[in-house]
Amino acid sequence: MRFNKKVEEILNKQINAEFWSAYLYLSMSAYFQTKSLPGFANWMKVQYQEEMSHALKIFDYINSRGGTVKLEPIAKVQTEWKSVVDTFKDTYKHECEVTDMIHNCYEVAVKEKDHATANMLQWFIDEQVEEEENAQQILDQLELIGENGQGLFYLDKEMAARTFVDATKA
């Protein structure tokens, strides 16, 4: 089985981007811990787990197609933010950037007539709609309550209930 090299290259870049995303969300989790917001820290830790599972889905896919996974160093991530709102502004912006990267992967697969990869990437396209929506909803809520202690306390409690479910295995 011969795997298309252009598709393999773009998917390897996406693996690195997914691992970087995981690292970013773990950094955000640590930031929220320092702000005594364990619910927000939990939400970001679940994001970290999701991004790791996304990277591994592509990792496993490349291997299943007879390709070669090429892991690259993970670039440094931000560790401090001005506020909870700014953190979620960055989260939403980042998810939009990931969507663009996934769309690019899809476009390369289609151009190269790699229908199997285009089909696999459809899962990621659908996932990114959900990722953007979730980040935007939390950002909207945060902008409504601002830095109000009671509102943050309530939202922090809500965020603590989130648990990781590996949707890549469904």
Residue 2 pLDDT class (50, 70, 90 cuts): confident
Q: What CATH number has the domain bearing residue 16?
A: 1.20.1260.10
Q: Tell me the chain's radius of gyration from C-alpha atoms.
A: 17
Residue 1 pLDDT class (50, 70, 90 cuts): low
Domain assignment of residue 21, yes or no: yes
pLDDT in tens, 74-84: 999 999 999 99
Domains: count for the chain: 1
Domain assignment of residue 127, yes or no: yes
Residue 89 has which token pair? 């502004």
Determine the structural domain holding residue 20 and report its residue range: 5-164
Q: How far apart are CA 69 and CA 61, in angstroms?
A: 10
On whether the CB atoms of residues 65 and 115 are closer than 8 A, the answer is no
Residue 90 has which token pair? 């960055």
